[in-house]
Structure 1
Amino acid sequence: MQSTQLRLVKGNMPTNSGPRPLEAILQRNALYPVFQPIIKLDDGAVYAHEALIRGPQGSALHTPDKLLIAAVQEGLSYELETACVAATLSSWGRLKTAGRLFVNISAEALIKAFDSRGREGLLHWIQDFHVIPRMLVLEITEHERVENMDRLAEVVNEVRSAGLSLALDDFGDGRSSLRLWSQIKPEVVKIDKYFTRNISAHGDKLKTIQALQQIANIFGTALVAEGIETAEDLRVLRDVGIEYGQGYFLGRPEGSPLQTLPEEPRRVLAERQVVVLPELGRISQGGHLRSLSLLKAPTVTPDTNNDTLARIFLENPVLHAVAVLQGERPVGIINRAQFMNEYTKLYYREVWGRKPCVVHANPEPRLIEREHSVDELVGILTSQDQRYLSDGFIATENGRYVGLGTGDQLVRSVTETRIEAARHANPLTFLPGNIPITQHIERLLKKQACFVACYADLNHFKPYNDYYGYWRGDEMIRLLARIAMEQCDSQRDFLGHVGGDDFILLFQSTDWRERCERLVAEFAERARALFDDNARAAGGIEAEDRHGVRRFFPCTTLSIGAVVVDGQHFTRAEDVANLAAMAKHEAKLSTTGLHETVLA
């Protein structure tokens, strides 16, 4: 085996007075592998090991990056890769370790090796090391983009027919491509550590991972999350359903393959706790008005005469306006009522009937792109220019006319989109709304987790809001949100904002009761600062109740109803939410502000 390796390395070496550093290492067969485990995240079993190459200990070329740089400088890139694979297979064959072996190889080196040895030659070469081909995974690594992707796909099909599997390394690092994934259809894709590192604190990274999961489902690909270095990140990746993980928290590269997972990551994977997934920071309250109902109305040009425009309006009695187009571009809008009011005047048709209708056009129509966000449209609704209420608006797509809409359609669509967005994230606190709350309860129930569902509600909030105004009322709700977040463990406890002054807390922290008590006490103290001096001195305010009767209301406090839930006994999130709401009603009658419902 060694003589075969040396001949392969020496083949393209230039002759000089002495071997260069990498050349000398290759001549001495001084490379050796270390093995980092790849773990199944559902049960903690060791699924495979990735071989990582090392140069001589204590040398300048000990690390892989130094070896690669030297290979480029000495013109030995292919020779280095071949020597790395040979050293890895030789070591793995001697160790006789169970499980799969991931071996790094570039696309160009794989193509070159196949062209020089052929399918059967490669197969025999692997078997000579006492390595079973079906347990070998070729991990395609790219330091540059693949030049001949079609040829790579052909070679991949050949080596796959010999029993080998393929993996795509560092997907998402800027060099890997979706086309490469689609074309070679690897059995495994390894997600670059940028997207997994600190994922527990970054909702945008989580969304990227979930998008990759959808692609993986399409191609039938398993995903490996690289770079797992903390328990928090492991919990998130475990709970979103990533199949495999790799990183220092699970196991470092060692000379001997790992047999069993260390105690700490094994404990994390065995937890019944359901992690709170990171949310996108300040979720947009928008969305796009793609579903906005439009009228496919006839149009006119600046040269269309008034008689023609009048016929268009008479033939289309529901038409509130007509767009004036220059080619496909809107340049004006003509209001039906205003035009017909002029057109029906005495002698108008005789004098102006054959004149251009553009004199009646509003040359600055309200144009709305179909891709406008709701946030942009709110500015239109609140602007001083309210002509859209009578003229309606012209809808465009990439600046081209697509139809007409009315002012009431715009108001209704913005309102509906806002309401739907609020179900995902409350626009006042930016906390998760009803849909994420329900989804998290369902995740807890699916894992049969034990948790505490709490419903928090303010006492005497309506009189405060009526007395001081909505702005001060919003300040109080935001204060409650801040204090509640302070009392939640970001990994274990979920905080959602149902709406108004109603909040849901889903605790997995065992000290949930103390957290709730601190929340009630902290809010009572800090909320007093939102009352004026006279109200604080009196302990409350004089205001009208729901029946219009003026009476005294104490300063606003907080009530929390809590239900201890065993996920094994529930299947519907609605049932949990209803029990928490009932507990909240009992809490409002309590002197402590906290009521725990004990389920039989």
Structure 2
Amino acid sequence: MPLLSQLKNNIKGTTETLNDIISQRTLSSVFQPIINIQNGNILGHEGLIRGPVNTDLHAPLNLFKLAKSKGQNKVCDLELASLEIGLESFARYSCKNKIFINVSPECLLLFDENKVVSLAYIENLGLNPKDIVLELTESSPTFDYSTLYKVIESYRNVGFQIALDDLGEGYSSLRLWSELRPEYIKIDKHFIHGINFDPVKLQFVKSIQQIADNSSTKVIAEGVETEAELAIIKDLNIEFCQGYLLGHPKPEPIHKVSENIEHFFARKTLSVFPKASGSYKQSNLKKLLVKVPFVSTKATNDEVYVSFDSNPKLFSIPVAKDDIPIGLISRSSMIDRFVRPYGRELYGKKSCVEFMDDKPLIVDANITFHALSDLITQMEPHHLTNGFIITENGKYIGLGSGHALLREITEMQISAARYANPLTLLPGNVPINEHIDRLLEKKNIFWACYCDLDNFKPFNDAYGFRHGDQVLQLVGETLTKSVDANFDFVGHIGGDDFILICQSEDWEDRCNYMLKHLEQTMPTFYSEDDRKMGGIKNEDRQGNKTFYPFSTLSIGAVKIDPELFPSHYEVAAAMTVAKKEAKRISGNSLFYERRYRE
């Protein structure tokens, strides 16, 4: 058979296969639970579709990839069939929770809404519209936002809720959030995977939660696979989560989480946020500057559209008179108007001021990032997506994007929040105090330990700073490796002073292990002659020859009850007293302050 004929037959065959799948409804639904992190209750289930069993099309990725190759209408036919099967399958189990059903904005606009989810259809299934969440899965930036908003509102008016899927992955998810104001936002699993190791992901998720708090949106963290990830997002006060750790997709909705997860939710320990390396640096706003040529008020909308069309990365175009900015035209505003019926015919020859935002955000290049961040949060959300105009001496010099600003602010927050000791790279005073205050605020009981090296200065004087630094690094590594990194905090406040903030119940055993390990390791830093003596002879401050035994570690520990310690100041004072008592004991020692025991 000629290659061209074979190709045509293959296309025909796959089309017929897809049509049969849709018409014969050889699809099935599975359900993955969405859990309230704070109490372990089930909010609802996401209905996920599967193709015919024992075929390559059983995987939804392959199924929808095939549909996409046949055109948008075929994608929407498949979505409609998937939505109906998902609702009908869920209804059979008489589940009392919500059902999240995926639908793309493009297909939602094409659907006859009465046919898809009419009240009669829902009532016939025995479902309540208030328990149905339409989960928007964005695939392209070409839809008409104003029309989509009207369609969404028609569903909301009869009780449906809206969720935005995969925040951080799509083309314009921030704008969708701003325009549609969904009841739920799902953070893409990329930002959840490994969040316990990645301070950038931590700051991204923290920022999203802060925006959600101010917009009455509930956040759902997707792709949770480990308890460490779950602990972090729980401590960020994110309300809901979804992922393999909580439950794999199954044909029947589950009614409760596993005993292991129940135990986790009952646990009061707080996670230790990942540490960022590097020091804080004040960034210059010009780092965000994009040199976009401005247009005059005489420019037509057709001319501005051509500029957008020729440069896909261009998000906005400024309008100026004699280098003085007066407005901003966003790509979304331009496309919104032009995709409407007769939009280009009506507005194409008119002045660009028709589509111009005459109250854009205009900032001087010398403004600080913190001031700019505060300014944007107080203004309308569209300034974040449209960007802002940067001026110098009142004259236009370029544009800045909201995404670039968020990235820079995230990096600054990391640096500002994580002052690290340059030698051991362990957190210093600021993050130590922050972590203590977090524990006190959550009313968590913990153990605070002040660790101090004995006879370190004589060793440093005898062997030099280089060897002294190696000893300090050894101590830092020993403490770090001896604790549970997810729940026990190790800090270095400077010199030979370290801090342990432990939530592990076996903290005392861990401390004794540290002392034993250092007792075995510390002599290796001394010369053979000094090892034979058990220490070094060195002059004291009065010039007298004095014998100093091997350097040892003294640990002063206090059990911290938040009812007795209002802040990190009182915790630090109690630790200091305990450390002084520990240093009265010769050799490697652990002193547990008993006055604060229950």
Residue 209 in structure 1 maps to residue 205 in structure 2: yes
The equivalent of 1:95 in structure 2 is: 93
CA offset digits 1:165-196 (Å, max 9, x no partner): 11110111243521121111111110111111
Question: In structure 2, the residue corresponding to 1:255 is in which secondary structure?
Answer: coil
Question: In structure 2, the residue corresponding to 1:199 is in which secondary structure?
Answer: coil
Q: How does 1:399-418 map to 2 (within 5 A)?
A: none
Distance 2:520 2:367 in 1: 46
Question: In structure 2, the residue corresponding to 1:49 is in which secondary structure?
Answer: strand
Distance 2:499 2:526 in 1: 25
Tell me the TM-score normalised to structure 2 length. Answer: 0.72
Q: How does 1:434-583 map to 2 (within 5 A)?
A: 434-546=429-541, 549-583=544-578
Aligned pair partner of 1:286 in 260, 274, 280: 280
Aligned pair partner of 1:245 in 230, 236, 241: 241
Aligned pair partner of 1:104 in 85, 90, 102: 102
Distance 1:144 1:484 in 2: 50
Is the CA contact (8 Å cut-off) linking 1:288 and 1:371 kept in structure 2?
no
Distance 2:95 2:491 in 1: 48
Question: In structure 1, the residue corresponding to 2:58 is in which secondary structure?
Answer: coil
- Residue 245 of structure 1 deviates from its aligned partner by 0.5
Is the CA contact (8 Å cut-off) linking 1:493 and 1:505 kept in structure 2?
yes
Residue 167 in structure 1 maps to residue 166 in structure 2: no
The equivalent of 1:391 in structure 2 is: none
Counterpart of 2:236, as a letter, is V
- Residue 255 of structure 1 deviates from its aligned partner by 1.8
The equivalent of 2:18 in structure 1 is: 22
Distance 1:569 1:488 in 2: 25
- Residue 461 of structure 1 deviates from its aligned partner by 1.6
- Residue 117 of structure 1 deviates from its aligned partner by 4.0
Counterpart of 2:56, as a letter, is A
- Residue 589 of structure 1 deviates from its aligned partner by 1.0
Q: How does 1:424-435 map to 2 (within 5 A)?
A: 424-435=419-430
The equivalent of 1:219 in structure 2 is: 215
- Residue 486 of structure 1 deviates from its aligned partner by 1.5
The equivalent of 2:181 in structure 1 is: 185
CA offset digits 1:221-267 (Å, max 9, x no partner): 11101111122211121122111010111111112211111111111
Is the CA contact (8 Å cut-off) linking 2:15 and 2:70 kept in structure 1?
no
Q: How does 1:364-383 map to 2 (within 5 A)?
A: none
Is the CA contact (8 Å cut-off) linking 2:80 and 2:116 kept in structure 1?
no
Counterpart of 1:525, as a letter, is Q
- Residue 463 of structure 1 deviates from its aligned partner by 2.3
Residue 229 in structure 1 maps to residue 225 in structure 2: yes
Q: How does 1:65-80 map to 2 (within 5 A)?
A: 65-75=61-71, 76-80=74-78
- Residue 451 of structure 1 deviates from its aligned partner by 2.2
Question: In structure 2, the residue corresponding to 1:453 is in which secondary structure?
Answer: strand
Distance 1:551 1:494 in 2: 37
Distance 1:422 1:447 in 2: 19
Name which one, 1 or 2, has greater alpha-carbon Rg: 1
Counterpart of 2:245, as a letter, is F
Distance 1:471 1:130 in 2: 75
Distance 1:499 1:239 in 2: 28
Is the CA contact (8 Å cut-off) linking 2:269 and 2:487 kept in structure 1?
yes
CA RMSD of aligned residues (A): 3.1
Distance 2:185 2:541 in 1: 61
Aligned pair partner of 1:52 in 48, 53, 65: 48
Is the CA contact (8 Å cut-off) linking 2:421 and 2:492 kept in structure 1?
yes
Question: In structure 2, the residue corresponding to 1:273 is in which secondary structure?
Answer: coil
The equivalent of 1:135 in structure 2 is: 131
- Residue 487 of structure 1 deviates from its aligned partner by 0.9
Distance 1:138 1:575 in 2: 50
Distance 2:507 2:418 in 1: 26
The equivalent of 1:195 in structure 2 is: 191
Is the CA contact (8 Å cut-off) linking 1:40 and 1:46 kept in structure 2?
yes
Question: In structure 2, the residue corresponding to 1:163 is in which secondary structure?
Answer: coil
Question: In structure 2, the residue corresponding to 1:61 is in which secondary structure?
Answer: helix
Distance 1:17 1:445 in 2: 65
Tell me the TM-score normalised to structure 1 length. Answer: 0.71
Question: In structure 1, the residue corresponding to 2:100 is in which secondary structure?
Answer: strand
Higher deviation after alignment, 579-588 or 173-182: 173-182
Q: Structure 2: any 5+ residue segments left out of the alignment? A: 1-10, 286-364, 369-389, 394-411
Is the CA contact (8 Å cut-off) linking 1:528 and 1:555 kept in structure 2?
yes
Structure 1 pair 428/38, CA: closer, same or farther in 2 (3 Å)? Answer: same
Question: In structure 2, the residue corresponding to 1:560 is in which secondary structure?
Answer: strand
The equivalent of 1:35 in structure 2 is: 31
Is the CA contact (8 Å cut-off) linking 1:539 and 1:555 kept in structure 2?
yes
Q: Structure 1: any 5+ residue segments left out of the alignment? A: 1-14, 292-368, 373-396, 401-416
Distance 1:289 1:567 in 2: 38
Higher deviation after alignment, 22-31 or 536-545: 536-545
Question: In structure 2, the residue corresponding to 1:201 is in which secondary structure?
Answer: coil
Is the CA contact (8 Å cut-off) linking 1:455 and 1:505 kept in structure 2?
yes
